[in-house]
Amino acid sequence: MDIELITNILYATIRTGTPLILIALGEMVCEKSGVLNLGQEGMMLMGAVVGFMAAVTTGNLYLAVLAAVVAGILMSALFGFISISLVSNQVATGLALTIFGGGLSAFLGASYVGMGIDGVQPMFIPLLSDIPVIGKILFQQDPLVYLSFALFGLVYWVFKCTRVGLNIRAVGENPEAANAMGINVHAVRYMCVIFGGAMTGLAGGYLSLAYTPLWSEGMTAGKGWIALSLVVFASWKAERIMLGAYLFGAASIMHLILQGTRFEIAPNLLAMLPYVATILVLVFLSSNHAKTKLNTPMSLGVPYRPQL
């Protein structure tokens, strides 16, 4: 393998890892507050289709990204209302969100299939992008990739250094105690769920506006679910989400990596790789079951009913 191929592989790894990072960071915040939102796939599809529709109708990519985020927010607010206010089963509600998002996105996007747009273009960072190898990998990406770096920094900082992060964790670990401390448990959970929705909407927008600038039904192909596994893999730590997302990113571009070797594998078999990798990761984690349990927010998935 020559250096140019390796550079290209790492460049593509960052790109494929980006939507996973966005979803996983959002879901991590959501789970830290004690809410398990399995509807990532549905929210992501909605972000992708609404972003793409906005791009086609307005021609403005900034508006399109914004539209994708708003779509994610609306979907997550719906999830929040049913699972937080109406204290429904979070697992079932998340599945419903995925099925509903799949159906609604296919319906909305039916007339947009096959259309093309000029996607988000790479933005070269002055000077830095001229560095050999690293410049291409890190500083010739599109703006949404840079945004994912920034959002990682934000989430990391919030949980490491701020009271907000502390409050979110208190709500996820022990909502009764948090309530007694004067924290509005439902408000915190709503905020976290909506943040997660915004991130997943953005990830959907990244997919249909930058990664592959088009819309096709079910185009997320399980990325939402992979990101959910990633949160467990990362034991709810932002820096490990980054690492994991790029590992999964690499697994999904195996065809590119294999170009440099003599192996010939059918594309459909290669397409299985990220899913197989996800299962292997889940298996690997269980070898350390006690530690996973230690890191899991105590009240994850348990609806909270305030007692007056």
Q: Shortest gap between Cβ of 166 and other proteins (angstroms)?
A: 17
Closest CB to other proteins among 82 and 123? Answer: 82
Cβ atoms of 303 and 87 within 8 Å: the answer is yes
Q: Shortest gap between Cβ of 307 and other proteins (angstroms)?
A: 8
Closest CB to other proteins among 261 and 286? Answer: 286
Closest CB to other proteins among 198 and 226? Answer: 226
Is 154 among the residues that bind other proteins (CB under 8 A)? no
The interface mask with other proteins, positions 66-85, x = CB under 8 A, is: ------------x---x--x
- Comparing CA positions, the residue from 120, 144, 134 lying closest to residue 22 is 144
Stretch 95-134 residues interacting with other proteins (CB under 8 A) = 95-97, 99-104, 106-107, 110-111
Stretch 243-302 residues interacting with other proteins (CB under 8 A) = 266, 268-269, 271-272, 275-276, 278-279, 282-283, 285-286, 289
Q: Shortest gap between Cβ of 6 and other proteins (angstroms)?
A: 27
Q: Shortest gap between Cβ of 35 and other proteins (angstroms)?
A: 13
Q: Supply the DSSP string of 173-209, one letter for each residue.
A: H-HHHHHHTT--HHHHHHHHHHHHHHHHHHHHHHIII
Q: Which of 1, 5, 87, 154 binds other proteins (CB under 8 A)?
A: 87
Cβ atoms of 42 and 218 within 8 Å: the answer is no
Measure the CA–CA gap between 229 and 280, rounded to whole angstroms: 11
Q: Which of 139, 211, 215, 225 binds other proteins (CB under 8 A)?
A: 225
Sequence-ordered list of residues with C-beta below 8 angstroms from that of 29, at least 6 positions apart, any chain: 155, 168, 192, 195, 196, 199
Cβ atoms of 53 and 63 within 8 Å: the answer is no
Site size toward other proteins (CB under 8 A) is 56
Q: Which of 1, 5, 86, 134 binds other proteins (CB under 8 A)?
A: 86
The interaxial angle of helices 273-286 and 223-233, nearest 10 deg, is 20
Sign of torsion over alpha carbons 123, 126, 128, 134: positive
Q: Shortest gap between Cβ of 190 and other proteins (angstroms)?
A: 8
Neighbours of 103 (CB within 10 A): 12
Burial 105-139 (b: 16+ CB within 10 A, else e): bbebbeebeeeebebbeeeeeeeebeeeeebbbbb
What is the length of the chain? 308
Burial 240-258 (b: 16+ CB within 10 A, else e): bbbebbbbbbbbbbbebbe
Is 198 among the residues that bind other proteins (CB under 8 A)? no
Sequence-ordered list of residues with C-beta below 8 angstroms from that of 157, at least 6 positions apart, any chain: none
Residue 297 phi/psi, 5-degree rounding, is: -55, 130
Q: Shortest gap between Cβ of 222 and other proteins (angstroms)?
A: 5
Is 5 among the residues that bind other proteins (CB under 8 A)? no
Closest CB to other proteins among 261 and 268? Answer: 268
Q: Which of 44, 185, 194, 210 binds other proteins (CB under 8 A)?
A: 185
Closest CB to other proteins among 88 and 129? Answer: 88
- The residues binding other proteins (CB under 8 A) are 38, 42, 78, 82, 85-89, 91-93, 95-97, 99-104, 106-107, 110-111, 184-188, 217, 221-222, 225-226, 228-229, 232, 266, 268-269, 271-272, 275-276, 278-279, 282-283, 285-286, 289, 305-308
